[in-house]
Structure formats: C-alpha cells, structure tokens
Amino acid sequence: MTQHRKWGLFFFLTPVLLWLTLLIVLPHIDLLRMSFILETDTGETEWRLSNYASFFKEPIYWLTFVRTAIYSIIVTLLTLVVALPVSFFITKVARPGTRGFLMLLILLPFWVSELVRVYGWMILLRESGVINHFLLKLGILDQPVEMLYNDAAMILGLVYTSMLFMVVPLVSVLESLDDSLIEAAYDLGADMGTIVFKIIVPHATPGIVSGAIVVFMLTLGNYLTPNLMGGKNSLWFTEQIYNQFIASFNWNQGAAFGFLLLLLSSGIVWLGLKLSGQTLGKVVR
C-alpha cells in the first residue's frame, strides 16, 4: 500500500514539477543570466551590473518604480476597504441560501477576460459613454466630462479587477468567526467601530494578509489596466519593462528591470508580513 502511494504521489507531482521547472524556474534563470550581460559595440558580451546601474541613472525609471509601488499599496488598501464589508455581509448577514448566489455574482465578471472588463469600464467612463449620457440627460452636466486617462480611473479599474482575490480569502476566514462574539460585544455596549477593529479584523488578519499579498502582486505586475485606463501618463513600471523587451528589443535591460520589480514586490510583502505579525505559511493555508 505504501509503494502504491509513493507511485501515485510521483504520478501526480511529476506534471507539476515539470511545469514549474520548464515554464518558471528555467526561464527565470535564463533571464537572470541575461540581466548581467552587457553587449559592447564590437558585438562581444561582458558580465557587468550596467543594466541595473542604468535604472538609478535615469530618473524616469526609478520615479516610475516608486510611483508603481505607492499606487499598488493604495489599490490594495482600497480593495480591502471595499471587500471587507462585502465579505462580512455574505458570511454573517445574508441568508445561508443566498450566499452561494452572492458569491456567484462576484465571480461572474471574472468569467470573461480582463481586457473585456476594462473595455467595459472605458465604455462607461469615456466622454460619449453611458455615465456622461445620463448626466447630460438629467441636466447635471452641460457638456461631457472625460473621466478616463487619469489616476482615479486607473485606480478604479485596478480595484475592480482585484476585488475577487480579496473577497475569497476574507469569506473563507470570516466563516469561522463565532457569531456569539459579535452578539456578546453588542450586549456589552460595544459600537460598530470597536467590533470591527477588536473582533472582526483580528480574526480576519490571516485572510487580510493573504488577500493583500495577492492583490498587491497582481496590481504591481498589471500592464493592461494602467495602460488602457491611465493613458499615456499612467507611468506604470511594467510598461517600462514592456518597452525594453518589445519596443527597444533590449532583453538584457528588460530582464534587469523585471528582477528589480521582483525584488521590490518581495521586499514589500516581507515588510507587510513583519508588520502584521504573520508568517507566509500561516496566510497560505
């Protein structure tokens, strides 16, 4: 029986290990190698840190880098603010028979690609879009207002595309919250703020941290939404990486920028885990 289990474990793990090795580990090792290579004018290659040094020499690169990190943190916090009450309503307020339906409503928009969802928001927010049409009909506006191609529209799109990845871990962790704790707090005269910050948030901390890590990583590496909804002034670092790989065909520089982004995301995630008192093993259970 033990031998059969070993063969079964080997059978199921082999495709996963092959997928991780061939599509993730080996390409990243090759990109790491490329990031240290500098091609000289004579066509020769040298191992240097020039690709990383150029990041600090050009202000546009590191300013975009910092801007991307700040906006990713803002998007993560806003997503949490929106997702926490939604998750609490689904798990503690809604009737048990409707919880599955509510989760389906949240999941339904994610059955289509991110491109379709972003274009949906663009149709709503553009000058000739749905929102401007109704505001003009109601007499609230005298002329259409361009709601796209700014930071607010970009943040709105990023929060929307990340919502599911915050709601799911929060729903999972809030289901285990004992309702009697909230009822006892009400009986003792606690207000909503006390209940939220003394009972709900401490209990939901593993889910909050887990969702925040996923949302932050997805936002930091997002290319489509900042480019389409933020416009040419979005200045997202993934666009700098795209330009190096595709526009300039400078794979060595693009690889260096990609690993700098990986270091940034890993550092911020590590700092978030330290500040929240959580461990990676605890939040991924």
Q: What is the pLDDT of residue 2?
A: 65
Q: Is residue 13 part of a domain?
A: no
- Predicted local distance difference test score (pLDDT) of residue 281: 66
> Has residue 32 been placed in a domain?
no
Q: Write down the pLDDT at residue 169.
A: 93
Residue 256 is part of a domain; what is its CATH number? 1.10.3720.10
| 37 within domain boundaries | no
pLDDT of the residue at 166: 95
In a domain? residue 229: yes
Q: Is residue 61 part of a domain?
A: yes
Query: Number of structural domains, the chain?
Result: 1
Domain housing 101:
51-283
| Residue 17 is assigned to a structural domain of this protein | no
* pLDDT in the model for residue 47: 81
Tell me what pLDDT residue 211 has. Answer: 93
Return per-residue pLDDT of the chain as tens, 285 residues: 566 677 777 777 888 888 888 888 898 899 899 888 887 666 677 788 888 888 888 888 889 999 999 999 999 999 999 999 999 999 988 888 898 899 998 888 888 888 889 999 988 888 888 888 888 888 888 888 888 888 999 999 999 999 999 999 999 999 988 888 888 888 888 888 888 889 999 999 989 999 999 999 999 999 989 988 987 777 899 999 998 988 888 888 999 999 998 888 888 888 888 887 777 666 666
Residue given tokens 């289901």 in the structure block: 175
Beta bridge partners, 45, equal: 39
Q: Residue 10 domain-assigned?
A: no
Q: Evaluate whether residue 68 is within a structural domain.
A: yes
